[in-house]
Amino acid sequence: MKYLIGRDFAFPEYMPRFPPFYEFDILKMYLNITINIEQRAVEGLVKYRVKAKKDSAKVLLDAVEIDLLDVSHEFYYDGEKIEIRPQWKAGEVVEVAVKYRARPRAGMYFVTPHGQRRSVYVWTQGESEYNRYWVPLPDSPNIKFPWTVAVTVPKPLVAGSNGLLVEIKEGEDSRTYVWEMRHPMSPYLLAIAAGDFEIYSEKCGEVLLEYYIPRYIGGEWRYSFYNTCDIMRFFSEYLGVPYPYERYAQVVVPEFIYGGMENTTFTILTDWTIHDKHAHCPYGEFPCPGQEDFSSDPLVAHEMAHMWFGDLVTAKDWGHIAINESFATFIEALWTERSKGREEYLYEIYTNFKTYLGEYSRRYSRPIVTNVYKIPDEVFDRHAYEKGSVVLHMLRSLLGDDVFRRGLKVFLERNRYRAVDIEDLRKALEEAAGRDLEWFWRQFFYSAGHPVLKISWNYSDGVIKLQIKQTQGEDSYPVYTLPLEIKIVYEDGKRETREIMLDEKEATLHISGGKPRYICIDPAFKVMKALDLQYPLESAIAMLDDEDFYCRIQAVEVLKKNGSVKAVDALARALQDKFWGVATEAAKALGEIGTAYAVTKLIESYHIVSHPRVRRAIVEALGSSRRKEAAEFLDKILHNQNESYYVRAEAARALGKIKWEFAEHSLKRALEYTSHLDVIKRGALEGLAELGTDDALKIVLRHTELDMPTYVRVTAVQSLAKFGPRREVLETIRAALRDENFRVRYAAVTAALELLDQRLIPDLQERMERDVDGRIRRVAREVIEKIKRAMERGAEYQKLREEVEKLRDEYRKLLDRIGKH
């Protein structure tokens, strides 16, 4: 029963994990800290009013690498946990206090001035279990309590935190900000940020909205947050539960290790999300709805969704992180539906499914809900986020939107300020729907994998014979039960949709009604499944005109596999599809076909299409060719200042892949262009790495150095592997594996993955055993395993390298996205 465990996720020594049991309840936490900028340290006094659940209960606090200065009761400390032993009885309330000092390696980060950033910034990141590095606390999501936090910082820094500001105390050279979180919250949601912020505020109904913007950013922040109030109103309306707190602050900080983190009322976001008008709307006037190239809406919506799913109601342990992350990813897509329409929503869900498939095929499979893991960070993956969002979309489709929303309202109201598991969600939805859902939970939450359907049909003697086979592997549920819709469009123009409950390995339907023009499975994309379509070419061409976008996507997939001139002509026509998502898939398909004729059609279509993301896809597809005319065309795009930043960045990468004779000269020029997050420069570095020349190596090595922006260093380090295991490449990767910056270390691990050089095993082993970040420990171990397999395979080495190239892209995309929390 591999489907209950999955494949390649759990290593042999992994054992089931369960939430800790606490012998006490916390009634309130009082924390008073002073941040020492020069020493990158924090001094604090934390007090807890605690109530014993049993006689002689022990108060257990997590505290890693903390110097204890005083503890109010008898205690024992092993360097990771403090066991405090009051003399008390069940039901008794006492106060325990710990005075301490810490220089945290994780959990609290000190960011020094760099470039335009002239101030120090300090911020915390608690999820999954990192607050224990700067404050003693019971660091598990299944305990909740309110708190008051007083933060003292040197003037003129501003310090923010969760909840409401209740007092500011003025000192001679310092200022103390007192914040009160009145609602019980899980400890990982405790957060602090201090720096040279400009604070902007507005009201959204009765809720105070705040924006903490570093002064070095300026007015461009408005392009990121202009939809904040509308998003809050929509979520409140859809969920039937008004935004549950008095305030919502979005805090932008430098060098944040994720995209954002949903600390209750005090979301911290990376400054990478700040962008200018040209990044947002390269071909039109702001806000250019439906034509954005770069938008912060997905990040803003994702983190705000957590205010309900993750903060108001919290997963009781990390194995049930779907309560937090699957929902935030799904609700983020609901905002897309509200703001941009149904097709945009469905395409986002479809893209989420494809993102999950990348992790499934190149890394591992696991059940969405599992307690077999070692490092909590391991379950913050594409299974929890993207796959979980598709499963929730299936539930919505199965139950209907009204019933689904009613069930979510029951779930949120019943479990307000509680830590719950996925069974609590099932019970709430069953109550709203009046039907059993255990069969669904077993298939999609408790089992690894996904359905794979092989579809074929033929027509003879007035009867359609439609065959459906479930062909998923052993790590998936053996036989899924799937409610499936089948659309049939006949030659005479008649249409019908049939509904079946597929609950067997193979099913054959005999349908009388006339000669079919085409057949589309699950036209509204209600069901999560991979499709293997055995359709006639002419039927796929006809299906490109269907009104349902998912039918048109299916047509693109069939035409891509065919690859004929006729298929290329049809795909070129699909580049003009009314919906940019279909056009994007058509461009990718033409790139995979890669013939000279396909390249010609891509170039011809470029200036006809208007959506920047379709242009991106066309440019990326052109990089798959080795044709001079494609390179000359890409060169013009790269140096056109009126073009999208991101289209030009793709052009730079593509030029390198083509290895055009003038590519190096062109890419060196592109290094000087300014753009959002230096994407053009980064694209040029990746293009130069594809060329692999000695001069290109010198340039890439220069951009790995400390004086470069982090995102440039990350790209340069990742690109080094393209040059092979040269001495200077290995030395630079070894140094990057020990870099202070998490993103740089992660980039070095991905470079090691592509190199597959056994000489890097000791360095990766060190990361696996010693890195403070759980994600790097996990990925380093995966890379070590792949290097060892490569050494064993010998003759299959080249094939593995091709697999690794795809996996490297998967890691790169993951790093670019890291990681909406």
**Tens of pLDDT, residues 198-210:** 999 999 999 999 9
Nearest of 272, 270, 264, 330 to residue 301 by alpha carbon: 330
| Residue 574: Cβ-neighbour burial (10 angstroms; 0-12, 13-18, 19+) | buried
Q: Give the residue from 348, 290, 278 showing the smallest Cα distance to 610.
A: 290
Task: For residue 51, give the CATH number of its domain.
Answer: 2.60.40.1730
Sign, CA torsion 772/776/779/784: negative
What is the number of other CB atoms lying within 10 angstroms of the CB of residue 208? 15
Residue 656, Cβ neighbours under 10 Å: how many? Answer: 27
Residues contacting 632, CB < 8 A, separation 6+: 660
Residue 425's domain comprises: 316-444
635 assigned to some structural domain: no
- Nearest-10 crossing angle of helices 612-622, 580-593: 0
pLDDT in tens, 291-302: 999 999 999 999
Distant-in-sequence, close-in-space partners of 342: CB < 8 Å, separation ≥ 6: none
188 and 321 in one domain?
Answer: no
Residue 218 pLDDT more than 80? yes
In the predicted model, is pLDDT for residue 116 greater than 90? no
pLDDT band at 464 (very low <50, low <70, confident <90, very high): very high
Per DSSP bridges, beta strands 266-270 and 247-253 are parallel
For residue range 426-437, what is the model confidence (pLDDT) as tens digits? 999 999 999 999
In whole numbers, what is the pLDDT of the chain averaged over residues?
Answer: 96
Q: Which two tokens stand for residue 233?
A: 């109103």
Amino acid at the residue 541 = I
- Which band of pLDDT confidence, cut at 50, 70 and 90, is reported for residue 558? very high
Tokens of residue 169, six digits: 């105390």
Token readout for 365 is 């499979």
For residues 212 and 226, what is the distance between their CA atoms, to the nearest angstrom? 14
Q: Is 362 exposed, middle or buried, given 0-12, 13-18 or 19+ CB atoms closer than 10 A? A: middle
* Amino acid in the structure at residue 504: E
Q: Is residue 37 domain-shared with residue 177, that is, in the same domain?
A: yes
pLDDT digits (tens, 9 = 90+) for 601-658: 999 999 999 999 999 999 999 998 888 899 999 999 999 999 999 999 999 999 999 9
Average of pLDDT values for 304-310? Answer: 98
Confidence of residue 115 (pLDDT cuts 50, 70, 90): confident
Is position 548 within any domain?
no
Specify if 777 maps to a domain. Answer: yes
Domain harbouring 416, CATH code: 1.10.390.10
Residue 189 shares a structural domain with residue 329:
no
Distance between CA 344 and CA 529 in Å, rounded? 19
Q: Is residue 386 included in any domain, yes or no?
A: yes
* Domain-embedded: residue 571: no
Centroid of chain to Cα 577? 28
Got the DSSP string for 453-513? EEEEEEEETTEEEEEEEE---TTS-SS--EEEEEEEEETTS-EEEEEEEE-SSEEEEEEES
Q: How far is CA 36 from the centre of its chain?
A: 33
Q: Is 708 a domain residue?
A: yes
Residue 818 pLDDT greater than 50, yes or no: no
Q: What is the pLDDT of residue 627?
A: 86
Torsion sign (Cα): 475, 481, 487, 490: positive
- Assess whether 190 and 323 both reside in one domain: no
At residue 799, the 3 state secondary structure works out as helix
- Domain membership of residue 277 (yes or no) is no
State the total domains in the chain: 3
Does residue 31 form part of some domain?
yes
Q: What is the pTM of this model?
A: 0.96
Q: Which one of 404, 422, 444 terminates a domain? A: 444
Question: Model confidence at 1, in pLDDT bands (50, 70, 90)?
Answer: confident
Residue type, 338: R
In this prediction, residue 280 carries a pLDDT of 97
- Nearest alpha-carbon partner for 147 in 99, 179, 100: 179
Instruction: Tell me how long the chain is.
Output: 821
Alpha helices of 29-181 — where are they, by DSSP H? Answer: none
Helices vs strands, H then E, count in the chain: 27, 28
- In the numeric block, which tokens belong to residue 498? 């049939």
Q: Are 145 and 185 in contact (CB under 8 A)?
A: yes
Output helix, strand, coil percentages for the chain, rounded to the nearest 5. 45, 25, 30
Span 484-540, pLDDT tens digits: 999 999 999 999 999 999 999 999 999 998 999 999 999 999 999 999 999 999 999
Pick from 449, 444, 440: which is nearest to 356 by CA?
Answer: 449
Residue 800 has pLDDT above 70, yes or no: no
Last residue of a domain, one of 425, 444, 463: 444
Reported as a pLDDT band with limits 50, 70 and 90, residue 136 is very high
Domain boundary among 194, 217, 235: 194
Neighbour tally for 64: CB within 10 Å? 21
